[in-house]
Amino acid sequence: MRRKRKIELVVASRNKDKAKEIKEILKGLNLKISSLSDYPKAPYILENGKTFQENAIKKAVKIAKFTGKLTLGEDSGLEVDALRGEPGIHSSRFSGKDKNDLKNNFKLLRLLEGLPLAKRKARYVCGVALADGNGLLGVVEGCCRGLIGYRMQGSFGFGYDPLFIIPKYKKSFAQLGPQIKHKISHRFRSLNKARNLLLKYLS
């Protein structure tokens, strides 16, 4: 019996860590997963939406239009209760123009300085949108609740993972590693919902 040809899914991101994580979570589907690293001439996407879902839709639709291929747009970030939901959609650029993960984490620690663990509640949120050359196919969202630790711990992951503590394990995402993170994270939960859209599309 002839094997069905894999359909290409373009992840609308140049973030290698994010693309790798998405690829890991979606494994098992009949997809050839690429990213914007494979499309150097892809247009820049201004992330000026008011929500994670809005930004995810912008990415998916614009890149699907450019490539003519099935595209996954993703936008995610951290919402901290004590900071009234900040950094939110500004998570990746929280520390300003010369931002990076380390600077973002240090800024967060500085803003929460002196607060007890009970007042350091936060949630990771992930919006995922799927589109093809004909337009938007659907959008979903997932979240994962936790606490912001007092110091960075662990070497796995990226973003705020070294600070994001899962109370059940009393460890950060960066300490837990992919075996656990990829079963409970905001990205896993949103991609799990997106999986149903993908299965429908592939059939």
pLDDT digits (tens, 9 = 90+) for 91-102: 999 999 899 999
Catalytic residue among 17, 75, 98, 132: 75
Spatial distance between the Cα atoms of 196 and 192, rounded to a whole number of angstroms:
7
CA contacts within 13 A on the Cβ side of 198: 26
pLDDT digits (tens, 9 = 90+) for 7-23: 999 999 999 989 999 99
Q: DSSP letter for 6, please.
A: P
pTM of the full predicted structure?
Answer: 0.92
Q: DSSP letter for 3, please.
A: P
Q: Which two tokens stand for residue 1?
A: 């019996």
Known catalytic residue at 101: no
Q: Coil, strand or helix: which one is 63? A: helix
Query: What pLDDT score was predicted for residue 97?
Result: 87
Domains of the chain: 7-202 (3.90.950.10)
Q: Are 60 and 53 in contact (CB under 8 A)?
A: no
Spatial distance between the Cα atoms of 60 and 47, rounded to a whole number of angstroms:
12
